[in-house]
Structures are given as C-alpha cells and as structure tokens.
Amino acid sequence: MNELLKLSAQEIAERVRSGAITAVESVQTHIVRAQAMNGAINAIVAERYDRALEEARLLDQRLAKDPDARHLKFLGVPFTVKETIDLEGAPNTQGSLLRKGSIATEDATSVSRMRAAGAIPIGTTNISEWAMWFECDNLIYGATRNPYDPTRTAGGSSGGEGAIIGAGASPMGLGSDVGGSIRMPASFCGVFGHKPTNRVVPLTGHFPLYRSTRERYQGAAYPFTTQGPLTRRAVDLWPVLETIWGEDGLDRETGKTGYIERLRRNAASGFDRPGEFWKNKKVFLMPSPSMKWIPGTDSDVTQAVKLAAETFADLGARIDEFKSDALRDAFDVWAALMKTVDGFDLPIILGGGERAPNVPRELLARARGHANYTMPSLFICAADLIAPRGSRARRLVAEGHRLLLELETTLGEDGILLLPPHPRPAPKLGSTLLRPLDFAMTAIFNVLETPVTVAPMHFNIHGLPLGVQIVGARGCDHLTIGAAIALEKAGRTWHPPKGAVPS
C-alpha cells in the first residue's frame, strides 16, 4: 500500500510544502485508491477526479510563483464531502427520488473554508435517504458497504465518509450529525470522527432544513445538527475543526452560545501533547450503559471502553465509574427535545418539505415494485405517531436539561466520559430495522449539545473495528479530541482493511 495512503493530512501537506511530492501526486494517489476500492464499497457516489487533478495542477503552478501559498494548512490534501453538504457542481439529492438530478450551485461554508485552506475535494459520498437513518442505503445510489466486511453496514448517515476514509482512499472528510451520523460510521469503519459542540460550525449549505445563497438565507433553526470531521488520523481532527468553525454571517445559530471563543482559548492548552496533559484529569467510564429500548451492549464493545480507560490510567488520569443507568431514557429525551425545534417534522422532511409520505400507500407501491421511499423512511413516518407529546414530552425535556446539568457538573472543564458509540459492532446490511433505536447511544449527546469524539480501539475476533465514544462538557472539544490523540499515540488508531477490498 502506498505510504501516502497511511499519512495524516498534516503530513501530506508538509510533504507538498517541502517539495517532496506535488499536489498532483497527493491527489492522484488517493484517486487511484478510490478507484480500486469504490466498486466494493459504493462510498463515493459522485466523483470529480478530473477536476480535482486540474485543481492540483493549478496549485502546483501557484506554489512555483507564490511562496505564501506554502502556508496553506491543507496544501494539496484531498478530501471528501457528505452528499448533504453542498459541493459546487456535485449532486445534492439527499438520497431522495424527490430531488433526483438536483445539483449544488455553490459550496457550503465548510467546503469553501476547506478549499481556501488548500484542500482539494475528490468527490461526494453516500448517505441514507434524507440523512435520517444509521445505515446508508437509498433509491438513487444504493447501499454503502463496510470496507472491513462488505456484508456489513458502514453506518449512517455519513456512512460514505466513514467507508472511503476507512478504505484508505481519503485522509479526511466532512460529515454531519444529528443522532450519531458522524460517530457511528467512524466507529464501524475504524476511523476518527468528531461531533463538535453545537452551534460552532455553520450549517450554511447543509441540507435538509438549511439552504442558503449569498443573497438570502432560508430554513428553520436547527440547533441539534452539527457538521464535523472524519479522519484517518486523530491529529487532523482539530485542524479541520479549526478551519470550519466560526460565524459566516448566514447561519443564525452559529456563535449564539459563545463557545467558539472558548475553543480558541483551549487551542493552546497542550491537549495535543499527551505527556503530562492527562495527569489528574477526570476520566469517567460507562462501559455498558443501561438504556431503555436497547437490549444490552456486546461484550467486545464493552471491553473496548475498558481498554481506553486503561490508557488514561497509565497517563495518570483519575478513573471513576459513571452510573450505568444515567442515560436510561436517552431515546425518549432525544425524541422529545427534537420536537422542540422550529421546523423539525420528520414526516414532512421525508416528504420533501411539502407533505408526509402516505405510509400504507407507499407500502402497497413497494409490494408492486414501485418504491418511492426506503423502508427506514417509512418506519420513521410511522414511529413519529407515537413520539412523546403533551405532559410526557415536557417531562422528558426537563429530564434532558437535568441530565446536561449533571453531566457537566460531574465532568467540569477537565473531565471526559468514555462509553460505547453503539451497542454492537457494524451490523449486517439491512438489519438495522431489527434494532431501530440502537442509535440512542449517540443521539442523546446531540440534544445535550456536547462535543463527542469517536476513536478506534482495536478489532474483534471477526475483524470488525471497535471504537470508543469520548464526551466532554460544551466548549471542551480540545479534551475529547486530545483524548483521541492520546489513544492514537498509545497505538489505538486506524489500520487499513485486509482482504475485504483490494490493497
């Protein structure tokens, strides 16, 4: 396997900066890998290889004339973009037949900021229909498969990102997360993923619910969704986050909370140098959370969390247990708080923003071979009928506020919580409907608005990646990312898949 395919984005940029390689070589090497891999995993659904190579050639020419260009953070580094995030000239169908043929006319804020830093997009990646399920399958692009076992899911809804990065064909990518959509794919595909503190990264150009142009802004407030990075090396998480955070004058949610300034201050805390940093820090673990609707956590997943705790104990952290039933009502709290968001109506979203799908009619159409929606979308529409309402919903919203207070009081600004990203390793393709609420283990932290990082730990006996979810208080993204860096330095990192796809 080409050495470039194992490096961090920062290392690749440094090689381009020093003249050891060209931007064209950087991009071409990853394109060749993507071409070899994608037939097996169906991760990139719209490639822009020729345009990417042309942009790399132009960058090389610029470097010969403009020494200042060498300071670009991601100089000549390729990256990929989730299909829900606008990339000019690429499809933004959201995996829905209702939007088939739709093309983005401009870059999302996050994409334009990455490109301004010297990164070069090579393609957009697959999602679930309307990005509303934790398995990537839709009626436009089909299913994305896990690079470590193509019979299993890569997760969702940023599953295409997880799969292409896990396959070694992209060093970094942009995803988004409202219920675990960055963290589950990262865990299933053995890579790093970060859900930032809410409202620090603009969602301008993200869909559904956010649409923008330079002339006008439209869309509902949607504070529980975040954009963030997936990377093959932990050291790239912070540089990507630092590149895409900050107000853009369009997303009215970004910057409301004041956490952007806290992130900037914490950048100088030394979190990226584990050494003494973790001495006496607080590390709580919840290796087997007790949650309503989730029938237990697999033993290998539990063991991965315990192994992570051992690493921090070796670094001098204070290890303690977090009560296992603290997140018992996780799904119900998530559902109730999501209902408080202006404009958030799942059936209407799945109907393209006009009217909800008629579930009985759509099931009949499926039986006749004329499906308009995937089964997870129809399940969501039906399940919405039993979502918490009235006094029960109010009680659950209050429980969410209480839970956040308890969590942040316990963690403070120098503590993290370790728990599984999912109750089991990557499920078999098509099986997620059998355990539809397993995503609650990640979803609860979206409505609590806390930063969460997922880091790979090791593999189980079947060769499937196992990860750990790292939670911090709001504005403490440096702690969760720093924890991932510490784990990577201890040998817990991404490893290329063997046997499942060409190497």
195 catalytic? Reply is no
Q: Would you state the structure tokens that stand for residue 185, as one six-digit string?
A: 């794919």
Within 412-458, where are the H helices? Answer: 440-448
In contact, 154 and 188? CB cutoff 8 Å? yes
100 catalytic? Reply is no
Which strand ranges, in their side-by-side order, compose the sheet holding 465-471?
44-47, 120-125, 78-82, 172-177, 226-231, 192-195, 452-459, 465-471, 415-419, 282-285, 318-321
Helix orientation angle between 299-314 and 477-489, rounded to the nearest 10 degrees: 90
288 catalytic? Reply is no
The b-or-e profile of 88-108 (16+ CB within 10 A means b, else e) is bebbbbbbbbbbeeeebebbb
If we measure between CA atoms, which residue out of 181, 92, 209, 149 comes closest to residue 439?
181
Among 8, 82, 96, 377, which one carries the catalytic annotation? 82
In contact, 495 and 288? CB cutoff 8 Å? no
For residue 343, report the phi and psi dihedrals to the nearest 5 degrees. 85, 0
Among 8, 110, 112, 157, which one carries the catalytic annotation? 157
Residues constituting the chain: 503
Eight-state DSSP code of residue 4: G
Q: Would you state the structure tokens that stand for residue 127, as one six-digit string?
A: 């999602």
Measured between alpha carbons, how far apart are the two ends of the chain, in Å? 6
Coil/strand/helix, residue 466:
strand
In angstroms, rounded to a whole number, what is the distance separating the alpha carbons of residues 430 and 407?
Answer: 35
Among 8, 112, 170, 181, which one carries the catalytic annotation? 181
Eight-state DSSP code of residue 206: B
In angstroms, rounded to a whole number, what is the distance separating the alpha carbons of residues 171 and 438?
Answer: 28
Enzyme catalytic residues: 82, 157, 181
